[in-house]
């Protein structure tokens, strides 16, 4: 990436990270805080935790389309303002229902699709995959930080203070948007990052993609449900004060990251993706069973959390990669839009259903319910056909090219197995074997003047 692209990418990633940090900070502390709110029940605790996922799932794709019409920055700034208002409503709430309204408003600031479109406007095709990876890593980092910082901030400023802080994060994001993120020269439709209305039928008929969408929905359902029960387990069953909860999560997360890396290497480099994928679903299921059986044992809880976060981190990293490889090369944005919607909807289901299970069957009911979801996912995933491990590459083309002729010429190059030229986006999308692919040969074909270099 050049300097302008780096500045744009890291600024957009910062906005995204601040927003997601604001959403995640209350996860490890809200269930205990909600006990003191008027009208609280276990079901409403879960609903308050997960309701943001419902509104985000419903609005993220429409907000992306709106940004194509009125501009990226107005939509993003408006979404961040809605998020800030929701945070203030939740901060000032004295009843669980007002918190639910605030969390729903937070999710209504659904700017993910608009942010990705802005990122695409400000980056060249050749570096866009790297730019999106930076944003993805920022989200993962935000989740990790939130699990540690949430209980600490709760001890210092309380959960209402955390909500005020998330409102400040949103306003800071607006400042970054207008002060540090450049205005794109023009708005374009990018089928690699945006949902295209005419492509939904093709994506929703693809059984392999639907298995992955189901998987990310189940993964986030389980994650959200666990954080309804875990704070009570740590406080009531293991006698750990809320202020000390970070010292449970921190070592577990650090060790999980260490074990995550070799599993991803085995999946990607050794081409054992399905085996690693099914192993991680199994680890998720086993961790939930362990928590259900022995949540009064510190050793068992730590072991279960370690298994869960190893598997969760691997799946969070590999699922988007699988979507990218399985999706039609010219409809990846639509596939990712359906995937993201499934992810957010999963958070809603996990919160609402997890709260109901907690109210009727206590913490063990939540854990066994989550284990049942894991088993269902394992059955669904067992029949999945893994794609050939090829990489996606993008390059720039002129708008006046003959698409069919250029595609035929590109496919003659070594290591290129699929090509789609989209002149209206000035882009060519490729699936390649990196071991055989020669980027210089592609450059010479697309830019003949480079043959002299």
pLDDT in tens, 320-356: 889 988 888 888 889 999 999 999 999 999 999 999 9
Name the domain count of the chain.
3
Contact 119, 8 (CB under 8 A): yes
Structure tokens at 73: 């920055």
Q: Are residues 109 and 226 in the same domain?
A: no
Question: Mean pLDDT over all residues of the chain?
Answer: 91
**Mean per-residue pLDDT, 177-183:** 93
The 3-state secondary structure of 31-95 reads HHHHCCCECCCHHHHHHHHHHHHHHHHHHHHHHHHHHHHHCHHHHHHHHHHHHHHHHHHHHHCCE
**What pLDDT was estimated at residue 451?**
46
Q: How confident is the model at residue 403 (pLDDT cuts 50, 70, 90)?
A: confident
Percentages helix, strand, coil for the chain (3-state, rounded to 5) are 75, 5, 20
Contact 5, 123 (CB under 8 A): yes
Q: Are residues 409 and 446 in the same domain?
A: yes
**What pLDDT was estimated at residue 450?**
46
Q: How many CB atoms lie within 10 A of CB 408?
A: 12
**What pLDDT was estimated at residue 287?**
98
d(CA 149, CA 28): 9
Please report the DSSP string for 119-136 in residue order: HHHTS-GGGHHHHHHHHH
| Domain-terminating residue out of 167, 194, 221 | 194
Query: What is the phi/psi pair of residue 375, to 5°?
Result: -65, -40
CA distances from residue 78 to 69, 233, 341 in whole angstroms, order as listed = 14, 39, 20
Report helix, strand or coil for 433: coil
**What pLDDT was estimated at residue 1?**
77
- The enclosing H or E element of 422 equals strand 416-422
Q: Are residues 27 and 147 in the same domain?
A: yes
**What pLDDT was estimated at residue 448?**
60
Which letter does DSSP use for residue 189 in this model?
-
Report helix, strand or coil for 155: helix
Which letter does DSSP use for residue 205 in this model?
T
| CATH, residue 429 | 3.30.70.100
Kindly tell me if the per-residue pLDDT of 315 is higher than 90: yes
Which tens digit of pLDDT belongs to each residue from 81-106?
Answer: 999 999 999 999 999 999 999 999 99
With 0-12 CB in 10 A as exposed, 13-18 as middle and 19+ as buried, what is 127?
A: middle
Q: Are residues 413 and 338 in the same domain?
A: no
d(CA 270, CA 232): 41
Structure tokens at 260: 């995550």
Q: Are residues 277 and 179 in the same domain?
A: no
Q: How confident is the model at residue 129 (pLDDT cuts 50, 70, 90)?
A: confident
**What pLDDT was estimated at residue 189?**
76
**pTM: predicted TM-score of the whole model, two decimal places:** 0.92
Q: Are residues 272 and 337 in the same domain?
A: yes
With 0-12 CB in 10 A as exposed, 13-18 as middle and 19+ as buried, what is 235?
A: middle
| Domain-terminating residue out of 178, 194, 210 | 194
Q: Are residues 162 and 232 in the same domain?
A: no
d(CA 185, CA 187): 7
Which tens digit of pLDDT belongs to each residue from 242-295?
Answer: 999 999 999 999 999 999 999 999 988 888 899 999 999 999 999 999 999 999
Which letter does DSSP use for residue 40 in this model?
-
d(CA 73, CA 211): 34
> What residues make up the domain containing 186?
1-194
d(CA 332, CA 343): 16
CA distances from residue 166 to 98, 99, 111, 159 in whole angstroms, order as listed = 16, 14, 16, 11
Q: Go through 192-202 and write b for each residue having 16 or more CB atoms within 10 A of its CB, e for each that does not.
A: bbbbbeebbeb
Structure tokens at 12: 């957009």
Q: Are residues 139 and 158 in the same domain?
A: yes
The residue with greater pLDDT, 131 or 451, is 131
Q: Are residues 331 and 431 in the same domain?
A: no
Nearest to 138 by CA among 7, 18, 246, 6: 18
Kindly tell me if the per-residue pLDDT of 402 is higher than 90: no
Q: Are residues 75 and 155 in the same domain?
A: yes
Q: Are residues 227 and 144 in the same domain?
A: no
d(CA 312, CA 25): 18
Q: Are residues 149 and 262 in the same domain?
A: no
Report helix, strand or coil for 259: helix
**Mean per-residue pLDDT, 150-156:** 93
- Edge-to-edge strand ranges of the sheet holding 416-422: 391-396, 427-432, 416-422
d(CA 16, CA 142): 9
| CATH, residue 83 | 1.20.1250.20
**What pLDDT was estimated at residue 325?**
86
| Domain-terminating residue out of 165, 194, 223 | 194
Which tens digit of pLDDT belongs to each residue from 212-236?
Answer: 999 999 999 999 999 999 999 999 9
């Amino acid at each position: 990436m050049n300097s302008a692209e780096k500045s744009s990418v890291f600024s957009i990633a910062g906005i995204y990270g601040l927003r997601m940090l604001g959403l995640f900070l209350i996860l490890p502390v809200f269930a205990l805080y909600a006990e003191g709110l008027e009208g609280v029940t276990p079901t409403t605790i879960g609903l308050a935790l997960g309701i943001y996922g419902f509104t985000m799932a419903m609005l993220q794709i429409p907000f992306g389309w709106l940004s194509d019409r009125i501009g990226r920055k107005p939509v993003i700034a408006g979404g961040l303002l809605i998020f800030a208002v929701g945070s203030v409503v939740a901060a000032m709430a004295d009843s669980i229902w007002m918190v639910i309204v605030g969390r729903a408003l937070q999710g209504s600031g659904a700017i993910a699709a608009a942010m990705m479109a802005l990122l695409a406007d400000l980056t060249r095709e050749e570096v866009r995959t790297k730019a999106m990876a930076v944003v993805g890593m920022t989200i993962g980092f935000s989740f990790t930080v939130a699990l540690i910082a949430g209980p600490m901030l709760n001890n210092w400023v309380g959960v209402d203070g955390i909500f005020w802080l998330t409102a400040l994060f949103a306003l800071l994001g607006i400042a970054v948007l207008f002060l540090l993120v450049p205005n794109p020269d023009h708005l374009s439709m990018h089928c690699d990052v945006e949902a295209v209305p005419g492509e939904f039928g093709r994506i929703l008929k693809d059984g392999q993609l639907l298995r992955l969408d189901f998987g990310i929905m189940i993964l986030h359902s389980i994650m959200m449900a666990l954080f309804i029960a875990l704070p009570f387990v740590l406080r009531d069953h293991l006698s750990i004060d809320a202020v000390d909860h970070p010292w449970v999560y921190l070592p577990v997360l650090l060790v999980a990251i260490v074990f995550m890396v070799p599993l991803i290497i085995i999946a990607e480099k050794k081409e054992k993706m399905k085996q690693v994928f099914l192993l991680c679903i199994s680890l998720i299921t086993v961790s939930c069973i362990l928590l259900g059986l022995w949540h009064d044992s510190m050793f068992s809880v730590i072991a279960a959390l370690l298994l869960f976060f190893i598997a969760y981190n691997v799946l969070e990293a590999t699922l988007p990669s699988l979507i990218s490889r399985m999706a039609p090369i010219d409809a990846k944005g639509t596939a990712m839009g359906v995937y993201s919607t499934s992810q957010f909807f999963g958070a809603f289901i996990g919160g609402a259903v997890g709260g109901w299970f907690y109210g009727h069957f206590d913490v063990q009911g939540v854990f066994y319910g989550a284990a049942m979801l894991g088993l269902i996912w394992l059955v669904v995933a067992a029949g999945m056909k893994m794609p050939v491990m090829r990489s996606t590459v993008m390059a720039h083309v002129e708008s006046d090219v003959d698409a069919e002729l250029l595609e035929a010429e590109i496919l003659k190059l070594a290591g290129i197995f699929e090509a789609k030229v989209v002149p209206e986006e000035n882009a060519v999308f490729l699936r390649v074997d990196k071991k055989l692919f020669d980027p210089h040969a592609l450059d010479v074909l697309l830019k003949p003047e480079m043959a002299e270099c």
